[in-house]
Amino acid sequence: MEYALDIRGLRKTFPGGLEALKGIDMQVEAGDFFALLGPNGAGKSTTLGVLASLVRKTSGQVRVFDADLDTDPARLKTWLGFVPQEFNFNQFEKVGDIVRTQAGYYGMAPARAALNAERYLRELGLWDKRNSPARMLSGGMKRRLLIARALVHEPRVLILDEPTAGVDIELRRSMWGFLERINREGVTIILTTHYLEEAEALCRNIAIIDGGRILQHTSKQALLQQLSMEHFILDIRNDPGTLPQLEGYHCFRNDEGALVVEVEKEDGLNDVFRQLGEQGWEVTSMRNRSNRLEELFMSLVGRSLPESEEEESA
């Protein structure tokens, strides 16, 4: 099995004594779509910072394909594209110049750099803005500019630190589509996100980090199978707004007032529908509660993700 990323025993202690990473082991297969999840201060950004050579590790080994961070950092950097959480481009430079210049830093000939810049600016809907200073772009456009800049040198691995933070739902969906497409083209994608439904929708494998340690590192399916309960949201015709009497099942109203029924994973739903029918409740539609991963996440790290709520409401 070929690993796009192989991290062994990674530690980082900052000056002042803060131990951000306490011996991380993490492997990402070539071609994977991988999520690194964790609450604030868990060590996600530090881990990505080490990969991007912006943070110096204290000890441990980092390899990207067969390039080692200690012995062949230049090749390792060539294979990585990094999308940071913050906008870190010169706000006064033109969009096209930012992307072409980045290609130049990787030693890409100007003609090829121009072609690649055009390709990614077009694909990300920024071609019309190529002569505009970056400060004139909207927040969502700036996020897409970061992605175009990270891809222009044709990396084999794309690392994204909170790529859709603060982005509206429509744009987030279009960015998901773009990321899935380049993943199908062979680019390994590693992302951190506070939106757990993003990880659930996109990623095949997931690591959960907290307190500088990896708590879980497995496939999304294996993670979700750890959930013993499933929640189903039911839409009821002429909903009375009360709760039905369901023997053997817990039910409640969610924040939107919709009826939610909690069902053991092994149990079927036939008995739920039978009891509802006997009591005169007519179910018009049903859906799975989408954020299953969040339930698991909370059970693992013992708390939710406060930032995601802030960003949602912003």
Partner 1 sequence: MTPYQIWIAFMTIVVREVRRFTRIWPQTLLPPAVTMTLYFVIFGNLIGSRIGPMEGYDYMEFIVPGLIMMSVITSSYANVVSSFFSMKFQRSIEELLVSPTPNWVILTGYLAGGMARGLIVGFVVMLVSLAFTTLEFYSPVLVVTTALLTSLVFSLGGFINAMFATKFDDISIVPTFVLTPLTYLGGVFYSINLLDPFWQGLSMANPILYMVNAFRYGVLGASDVGPVWAIGMLLVFSVVLFTVSLRLLDRGKGIRS
Nearest distance from C-beta of residue 194 to partner 1, angstroms: 21
- State yes or no: residue 97 binds partner 1 (CB under 8 A): yes
Whether the Cβ atoms of residue 44 and residue 52 lie closer than 8 Å to each other: no
On the CB side of 294, CA atoms within 13 Å amount to 16
Nearest distance from C-beta of residue 222 to partner 1, angstroms: 32
- State yes or no: residue 88 binds partner 1 (CB under 8 A): yes
- The pair of three-digit structure tokens given for residue 56, joined into one six-digit string: 């110096």
- State yes or no: residue 77 binds partner 1 (CB under 8 A): yes
- State yes or no: residue 109 binds partner 1 (CB under 8 A): yes
Write the CA distances from 84 to 43, 115, 224, integer angstroms: 15, 24, 28
Which burial class, exposed, middle or buried, applies to 178 when counting CB atoms under 10 A from its CB (0-12, 13-18, 19+)? middle
Q: Site for partner 1 (CB under 8 A): how many residues?
A: 34
- State yes or no: residue 115 binds partner 1 (CB under 8 A): no
- State yes or no: residue 90 binds partner 1 (CB under 8 A): yes
Q: Which of 13, 58, 61, 78 lies at the binding interface for partner 1 (CB under 8 A)?
A: 78
Q: Which of 143, 149, 172, 194 lies at the binding interface for partner 1 (CB under 8 A)?
A: 149
The site map against partner 1 for 27-56 (x = CB under 8 A) is: ----------------------x--xxxxx
Rounded distance, CA 259 to CA 242, Å?
A: 9
- State yes or no: residue 105 binds partner 1 (CB under 8 A): yes
Nearest distance from C-beta of residue 10 to partner 1, angstroms: 15
Residue whose pair of structure tokens reads 């991290």 in the numeric block: 7
- State yes or no: residue 14 binds partner 1 (CB under 8 A): yes
Taken in order 76, 79, 85, 90, is the CA torsion positive or negative?
A: positive
Output phi, psi for 168, to 5 deg. Answer: -70, 165
By beta-carbon proximity to partner 1, the closer residue of 92 and 238 is: 92
**DSSP result, 156-173:** SEEEEESTTTT--HHHHH
Q: Which of 22, 75, 119, 213 lies at the binding interface for partner 1 (CB under 8 A)?
A: 75
**DSSP result, 37-67:** E--TTSSHHHHHHHHTTSS--SEEEEEETTE
- State yes or no: residue 16 binds partner 1 (CB under 8 A): no
Q: What residues line the site for partner 1 (CB under 8 A)?
A: 14, 49, 52-56, 73-75, 77-78, 80, 82, 84, 86, 88-93, 97, 101-102, 104-110, 149, 153
